[in-house]
Structure 1
Amino acid sequence: MFTTPLKPKNQQIATLLAFSLIPMSGFATDIYIPSLPTMAQNLGVSQLAVQLTLGMFLISYGVSQLFVGSLLDSFGRYRINLISLLIFAVASIVIANTANIYIIYAMRIVHGITVGAIVVSKRAYFVDVYKGDQLKNYLSMFSIIWATAPIVAPFVGGYLQNYFGWQANFYFLALFAVTILILELIFSGETIKQPMVFSLKKIASVYSSMIGTASFTLGIVMLGLSYSMVMVYNMTGPFIIEHELGLSPITAGYCSLLLGGAVMLGGFLGKATINKPFVKKLSVNLLLQCLFCLTMFGSVFFVENLYSMVFFAFIIHASSGYTFNTFFTFCLSRFPKNAGIASGLTGGINYVIVSFLSYGIIAAIPAKDQLNLTYSYAVLIILSLATMFIIFKQYNKAVKG
């Protein structure tokens, strides 16, 4: 049953199910973003302690992807995906029924590991099933589909928090996982055509080859920097809105919904310009991002309110979505023969970068006001410009060679 090949008649439904799981990492973080201030108060811990629940997830999610790809390429996608969905649901219920922050930390680590397996298996699904332009088209849709999480999840989470409390967010996640699990059992199946022999030496060789490819590794660094801009806001925005501006979790949810729409807009623009010159379009995008960050600095001295903060954040997040879409498509299609490992490395290194970088930035620049948020964006944009400069040099070297 757990190794039954995907039936051709179910391919369309299985593809929709795969797309529904692509944003799961975002749902697992973004749905309880409006609840962060309330969780800190109810659990009797500091802001930084409850923000660490996001960091724990990101670190475990990133690290698990570094290794799960080889398991998926050797033992298949389907069975590992089903087991992970079940464990994720159980961990969500445990979180909803505890007031111990350390148990929550442990379950968030479980969340990260299981979501890593789920998302990597579904990315590999597309490489297994589709080829050529159709595959390229689907891969370019990943960041767009992924962006539904920061749009929908905080919006839903804000209402769940307001009417039922923070625990409702985790019951919602459990229900979502169980529903998809049942549908996967009915409609999905195994898609890997030729499993790789599980040899540590061979796997290490593949990992080494991929990481040693400069364009691939630098692309992942850009993914981490672009998503860190979104995550820094996610970890600080609710505290600015609810504590500094005195507004409700529902308002925080609406703001996150709008900024999630910005990431999706950037993804659509990335898909629309998929055939444009690679370095040129990204250079223009980063320069625009830099310009608006400087404008955001200037605006703080004249006007500082919810509308100005969200306006500039929207533009910066849209630019981040554009960068993310472009590099994500490139990295995932770079090594089609080892789709699981390539997907795992792409997501894994990306989220390790995001977890350490975003948590480090909010620890150094606390969630205080729009000015501090601007400083956080500026640090990440400067790092992005430096990375793009290295990519540009690599590109010129390849052209001349």
Structure 2
Amino acid sequence: MTQPEAPDFHPAATWTRPVWLLAALLATLASLGPFAIDTYLPAFEGIAQGLATTPVHLQQTLSGYLLGFSVMMLFHGALSDSFGRRPVVFVGLAVFALASVVCATAGHVGVLIAGRVLQGMSCGAGIVVGRAIVRDLFAAVHAQKLMSQITLFFGVAPAIAPIIGGWLFDWFGWRSIFWFLALVASAVLVLAARTLPETLPPERRQPFTPLALSRGYWQVVSDKRFLLLTLAAGVPFNAMFVFILSAPMLLGHHLHLAPTQFFWLFCWGISGIMGGAWASGRLAGKISREKQVRWGFGILLAVSLANTLYHYAMPATVFSAILPVGLIGFGWSMLAPCVTLLVLDRFPARLGMASSLQACLASLSNAIVAGVIAPIAMASVAGLAFVSFLLAFAGWACWKGYRIDVRRGQRAAV
């Protein structure tokens, strides 16, 4: 028995432009964070030379960015629940543009680190608030279609960011990358100011007081179904992400590919995510969310298990190592929009806060995989495949736990 969905409605009263335009705008807001990471990576060596610093010190520009991103991720949604969606988006974009200028004009690595921290603290607003806006405007089928379109557009950023960063570095030097980011944030700010509606009316806003916030956070994090759903969406992403994190070892050491050939893994993985997002949008309204999630997990588990069995029995090839990554990405992005909407539906009065905590927990799982699991698993292709299967299985187990709890609640209500 499936959980009843919220009634669908047409959002013409609050969004009169083409829905794809809203999807592109929200995807751009969500992509700003990953884009700010991937764009400057090709210039690492040039930045180190330009600022006369060491790679160890320069690495702190990435660590500081991720730290600021993770900390503020907890607060963007709560702020939008209290002050509205538009102000949080606008302030986030303005601060990001200012931080990019700080980075572009930095004469010392300490200033660059400070600018990167500020970038990280501001860019998460787009990811968190964008999800809340989707649920403010749409219900059921429309929300799933829009979330799928956002994922589809979102997949483009990781593919083009390193290319743009490399071009800018070669043509104009490393500072041009941060000037470019400042320009992008400013352009998106102008576009958002002209087109993005305020989707949270004053009567639905929450008080911004320590007591109200603490009660809200506790209400969300103590909800078992929220935690299970959040893990069901966030943990399986790492079944693909572990291969991306291990790319230098996987592609360079195990598969003996040149750095110029690394793009095959990234392009195929991104293609899988975009394909799954497209399939999710096409299936919206035709099958239930729960059935679509089962299909997504079915693909994840089948591919990751077959990948594990093959690589423990047979030597790895470029084809055998890269093909499963895209298929795993397909399965994850097929289920992710549905599970994300189920997460937000748990707290309709606290959409921003729920989105914040979901994003924060997902970032935490990514950090654990990046810092602990991937370094251990990357010793062999078979080890990576096995860890990928375990992560997919863990996500499926959380989903099953959620469904069991729902059925238990339905029986108790009879």
**Letter aligned with residue 365 of structure 2:** I
C-alpha contact 1:215 1:391 (8 A) present in aligned 2: no
Report the Cα distance in structure 2 between the residues aligned to 1:57 and 1:200, rounded to whole angstroms.
27
Question: How far is 1:343 from its partner?
Answer: 1.5
Question: How far is 1:288 from its partner?
Answer: 1.6
**Letter aligned with residue 287 of structure 1:** L
Question: How far is 1:294 from its partner?
Answer: 0.9
Q: Match for residue 180 of structure 1?
A: 188
Residues 61 and 262 of structure 1: is their aligned pair in 2 closer, same or farther, counting only changes over 3 Å?
Answer: same
Report the Cα distance in structure 1 between the residues aligned to 2:48 and 2:385, rounded to whole angstroms.
25
Residues 338 and 243 of structure 1: is their aligned pair in 2 closer, same or farther, counting only changes over 3 Å?
Answer: same
User: Which deviates more from structure 2 when the two are superposed, residues 331-340 or residues 318-327?
Assistant: 318-327
Question: How far is 1:98 from its partner?
Answer: 4.2
Question: How far is 1:55 from its partner?
Answer: 4.7
Report the Cα distance in structure 1 between the residues aligned to 2:111 and 2:71, rounded to whole angstroms.
20
User: Which deviates more from structure 2 when the two are superposed, residues 336-345 or residues 53-62?
Assistant: 53-62
Matches within 5 A, 1:287-302: 287-295=301-309, 297-298=311-312, 302=315
Q: Match for residue 129 of structure 2?
A: 121
Question: How far is 1:158 from its partner?
Answer: 4.4
**Letter aligned with residue 185 of structure 1:** A
Residues 147 and 393 of structure 1: is their aligned pair in 2 closer, same or farther, counting only changes over 3 Å?
Answer: same
C-alpha contact 1:225 1:353 (8 A) present in aligned 2: yes
Question: How far is 1:140 from its partner?
Answer: 3.7
Describe the superposition over 1:238-292 as per-residue Cα deviations: whole angstroms up to 9, x where unpaired.
576578857355x444642332122111222333445344463244123223224
Does residue 1:199 correspond to 2:215, yes or no? Answer: no
Alignment RMSD:
3.6
User: Which deviates more from structure 2 when the two are superposed, residues 170-179 or residues 18-27?
Assistant: 18-27
Question: How far is 1:59 from its partner?
Answer: 4.0
Report the Cα distance in structure 2 between the residues aligned to 1:296 and 1:109, rounded to whole angstroms.
43
Does residue 1:216 correspond to 2:230, yes or no? Answer: no
| Count of paired positions | 388
Q: Match for residue 346 of structure 1?
A: 358
Describe the superposition over 1:71-113 as per-residue Cα deviations: whole angstroms up to 9, x where unpaired.
1111122222222212212222333444755544433322221
C-alpha contact 2:145 2:282 (8 A) present in aligned 1: no
Return the structure number with greater relative CO, CA threshold 8 A, min gap 6: 1
C-alpha contact 1:266 1:320 (8 A) present in aligned 2: yes
SS where residue 359 of structure 2 aligns?
helix
C-alpha contact 1:140 1:329 (8 A) present in aligned 2: no
Report the Cα distance in structure 2 between the residues aligned to 1:309 and 1:60, rounded to whole angstroms.
34
Question: How far is 1:176 from its partner?
Answer: 0.9
Report the Cα distance in structure 1 between the residues aligned to 2:382 and 2:333, rounded to whole angstroms.
18
Residues 258 and 146 of structure 1: is their aligned pair in 2 closer, same or farther, counting only changes over 3 Å?
Answer: same
Residue 69 of structure 2: which of 54, 61, 65 is its match?
61
Q: Match for residue 236 of structure 2?
A: 226
Question: How far is 1:24 from its partner?
Answer: 2.2
Question: How far is 1:220 from its partner?
Answer: 1.5
Report the Cα distance in structure 2 between the residues aligned to 1:324 and 1:205, rounded to whole angstroms.
28
SS where residue 123 of structure 2 aligns?
helix
Report the Cα distance in structure 1 between the residues aligned to 2:23 and 2:257, rounded to whole angstroms.
43
User: Which deviates more from structure 2 when the two are superposed, residues 136-145 or residues 334-343?
Assistant: 136-145
Residues 152 and 197 of structure 1: is their aligned pair in 2 closer, same or farther, counting only changes over 3 Å?
Answer: same
User: Which deviates more from structure 2 when the two are superposed, residues 325-334 or residues 32-41?
Assistant: 32-41
Residues 327 and 164 of structure 1: is their aligned pair in 2 closer, same or farther, counting only changes over 3 Å?
Answer: farther
Report the Cα distance in structure 2 between the residues aligned to 1:9 and 1:397, rounded to whole angstroms.
39
Q: Match for residue 355 of structure 1?
A: 367
- Gaps (5+ residues) in structure 1? 1-5
Q: Match for residue 391 of structure 1?
A: 399
**Letter aligned with residue 125 of structure 1:** I
SS where residue 22 of structure 1 aligns?
helix
C-alpha contact 1:30 1:234 (8 A) present in aligned 2: no
Question: How far is 1:162 from its partner?
Answer: 5.2
C-alpha contact 1:65 1:345 (8 A) present in aligned 2: yes
Residues 60 and 381 of structure 1: is their aligned pair in 2 closer, same or farther, counting only changes over 3 Å?
Answer: farther
Identity %: 23
Report the Cα distance in structure 2 between the residues aligned to 1:243 and 1:35, rounded to whole angstroms.
23
TM-score normalized by structure 2?
A: 0.78
Does residue 1:265 correspond to 2:278, yes or no? Answer: no
**Letter aligned with residue 175 of structure 1:** L
Report the Cα distance in structure 2 between the residues aligned to 1:37 and 1:294, rounded to whole angstroms.
36
- Gaps (5+ residues) in structure 2? 1-12
Report the Cα distance in structure 2 between the residues aligned to 1:215 and 1:140, rounded to whole angstroms.
23
SS where residue 198 of structure 2 aligns?
coil
SS where residue 198 of structure 1 aligns?
coil
Q: Match for residue 157 of structure 2?
A: 149
Describe the superposition over 1:286-309 as per-residue Cα deviations: whole angstroms up to 9, x where unpaired.
32232243156248x63444x554
C-alpha contact 1:85 1:178 (8 A) present in aligned 2: yes
C-alpha contact 1:155 1:256 (8 A) present in aligned 2: no
Q: Match for residue 334 of structure 2?
A: 322
Report the Cα distance in structure 2 between the residues aligned to 1:182 and 1:192, rounded to whole angstroms.
20
Residues 55 and 79 of structure 1: is their aligned pair in 2 closer, same or farther, counting only changes over 3 Å?
Answer: same
Q: Match for residue 109 of structure 1?
A: 117
Residues 161 and 219 of structure 1: is their aligned pair in 2 closer, same or farther, counting only changes over 3 Å?
Answer: farther
Report the Cα distance in structure 2 between the residues aligned to 1:290 and 1:16, rounded to whole angstroms.
31
Report the Cα distance in structure 2 between the residues aligned to 1:333 and 1:296, rounded to whole angstroms.
40
Q: Match for residue 3 of structure 1?
A: none
SS where residue 190 of structure 1 aligns?
coil
